[in-house]
Amino acid sequence: MSWRIGSIPYLNVRPLIYGIEDQVVSTVPSQLAELLHRGEFDTGIVPVAEVLRHDQYDILDNVAIAANGPVQSVLLFHREPIAKLPRIAVDTSSRSSVMLLRILLRLVYRNEPEFYPRPTGAKLDEHPAMLVIGDDAIRCAQLTGSWSVLDLSTAWREFTGLPFVFAVWAGQRGVFKDDGLRNLLLTAKANGLANIEKIVQATTEATPEFRREYLTRSIRYDLGVAEKQAVAKFQQYAVELGLIPARGDLRYVA
């Protein structure tokens, strides 16, 4: 059977689609979320914010893109104190990261700055603050300049004591009852984690040392008890701040 599987073109996803790259379609997280919501994919690696917005998905258990401390690829670059920032250019391709930033700004820094889309090709020196995600964030972090950097995963960990879950395999209701699809995705993850060094050598972001550290220490690929607690806490804050509607419990399928 053939499934419609969506993915995102970032380094941190490579271990989850190892060996099945020819079976997935890649696009930016926000676009993938829209396509999955419209039913154009059976499953996709989507920002956790998408799952919290719409009560139409099941979540594949035991798989996530998460971090328990510095993630190194979801970064706020800023030249003024965060509590005083008036405006922030945000990468709208990741809804989870934008929502996480709003929560941290409101609850930790007591600030509600204006968010506006980060222009294509924007440079860090052209804006008072900029949220950058994915491989772009990795590249920007290698630059030197007169800005400070907040790692959003680190800030969340310091605020809650929990890891942060950025993305999950979400599927249309009931799709993960198919043993073939579940086994395909779980096997891809197992093979990817067993072949991290091959992924490191086959990719070009930053240095091999950074890629190895990033994929083995910064990113966590499990969705366990602590990660589910983190998703529930993220949902709680987002509802309290009016960022998403209240809804029932999430459905995890093992």
**Pair type for strands 24-26 and 252-253:** unpaired
CATH of domain 5-65+165-224: 3.40.190.10
Any idea where the domains of the chain sit in the sequence? 5-65+165-224, 74-160
Q: Using an 8 Å Cβ cutoff, are 214 and 72 in contact?
A: yes
SS (H, E, C) 43-104: EEEEEHHHHHHCCCEEEEEEEEEEECCCCCCEEEEECCCHHHCCEEEECCCCHHHHHHHHHH
Q: Partners of 89 in the beta sheet?
A: 116, 130
Give, in words, the CATH class of 74-160: alpha beta
| Per-residue pLDDT tens over the stretch 157-206 | 999 999 999 999 999 999 999 999 999 999 999 999 999 999 999 999 88
| Main-chain phi, psi angles of 210, to 5 degrees | -65, -45
Give me the percent of the chain exceeding a pLDDT of 70.
100
Contacts of 49 (CB under 8 A, 6+ apart): 33, 95, 96, 98, 99, 238, 244
Task: Note the pLDDT tens digit of each residue in 121-139.
Answer: 888 888 999 999 989 999 9
Q: Whose CA is closest to 124, among 94, 91, 147?
A: 147
Distance CA 226, CA 224 (A): 6
Mean pLDDT computed over 235-246: 95
